[in-house]
Homo-oligomer: A and B are copies of this chain.
């Protein structure tokens, strides 16, 4: 804090600072990129260090993503020991791997020691086993043990995401002692919002939020004000489940315990926010028929990763086509059926995907359970029936007018009611069944629902037409 001016314009300074790097649209400014690019071209290390010095790790991450691959490599190389490795936790996996693969293991080992353990693990976990071991072997003993422990927990568990740095005190200390300890100890974690209370064997006894410490008189004993850690997270708990605990109980951080209830780390809300984002994104991507691809993936790997979904859809498309081929003689007589049939199938598909979207999301957030499933199924059937009638009337009138044939209007109307109802049933029952059989409904629902609406739509429309017009 230097000087009155800077102080009173704190809020404005934030804006200005922000404006330094990002444009109106939230993208990194091209003028900033040009400056950095020029400095890289000139191999002007001094300017580069000055430019990136003030950047938050996420800002540096955004800069890395905006640069060309060669520039990226050159920047990291030129910054050397001044390169903030924590920025690597903020970039696409492909970019992270590209940068890390390009660095000598010794430099990575050096850098990793400066990081919080959760960030270090985040960078190390994607490396080849061989590189990982080499880097770990170059670390000091305690550091190595800590990281190894995190890495030994399965991927996507609380143990993998936890930070192994935390503040823990015995229950018989006073608040005063605790505060004095924190004033003295230089090895505190960079940021923390609660401290833990443990016994000599590291068994977790409780926790105190920092605001509680600040409200309490110095003479009071820790055990008198600590609260039971009702939300201790087993290290093997899935990160998504841990995130739900955070959300449900509005936690800022939570103790992570091993199978003997010993404190091994702390999970913090910032990691959890990433998990929440990631999980919501996963559902969205899966429903859109794409897997874990990233923007930085290449053409070939993207193309390959999208083929399986298209292949499955192809099978269902042939199934639908074979339903149509059952009625080829009818279509030959009344070609208007070929014109109108995609409407019946398509509207069913859209209605089905509405119901399915609601169902998949409600299952993911646990809002849909055995207590309301019956009510929701009845509701969706009701919606399917009402919207079926609404669109049956609408489409029936248009079709009858278009082809000047009331029969055609009546037939498409009847098929619409049937298919909208089938769409509602498929949209709710298929995700529920998949969930019951432990198949992720976000991945598999869409194929099955479209299959139902295509097959039922074509069969109902062409079948009723064949029967009504009496085509042999």
Q: A232-257 interface mask toward B, CB cutoff 8 Å, 1 = contact, 0 = none?
A: 10100000000000111110100101
Residue with the greatest number of chain B CB neighbours at <10 A, chosen from A1, A324, A345: A1
- Contact yes or no, A361 B204, CB < 8 A: no
- Contact yes or no, B223 A211, CB < 8 A: no
Chain B residues near A17: list those with CB within 8 A. Answer: 230
The yes or no answer to A406 lying at the interface (CB within 8 A) is no
- Contact yes or no, B205 A8, CB < 8 A: yes
- Contact yes or no, A314 B391, CB < 8 A: yes
- Report the bound CA distance from A261 to B163 in whole Å: 36
The yes or no answer to A58 lying at the interface (CB within 8 A) is yes
The yes or no answer to A154 lying at the interface (CB within 8 A) is no
Chain B residues near A13: list those with CB within 8 A. Answer: 228, 230
- In the complex this chain forms, how many copies of it are found? 2
A182's partner among B205, B215, B371, B398 (CB-CB below 8 A) is: B215
Q: What distance in Å separates the Cβ of A342 from its nearest Cβ neighbour in chain B?
A: 6
- Report the bound CA distance from A206 to B335 in whole Å: 74
Chain B residues near A347: list those with CB within 8 A. Answer: 310, 313-314, 317
The yes or no answer to A325 lying at the interface (CB within 8 A) is yes
The yes or no answer to A84 lying at the interface (CB within 8 A) is no
- Contact yes or no, A383 B303, CB < 8 A: yes
Q: What distance in Å separates the Cβ of A128 from its nearest Cβ neighbour in chain B?
A: 26
Chain B residues near A183: list those with CB within 8 A. Answer: 214-217
Please list the 7 inter-chain residue pairs (A to B) with the smallest Cβ-Cβ separation, ordered nearest first. Answer: A288-B357, A280-B280, A27-B369, A299-B382, A338-B338, A210-B210, A11-B232
Given A11-B255, A14-B228, A288-B357, output 11 extra A-B contacts at Cβ < 8 Å.
Answer: A7-B171, A8-B205, A12-B261, A92-B367, A193-B210, A193-B252, A285-B357, A289-B357, A302-B379, A309-B350, A314-B347
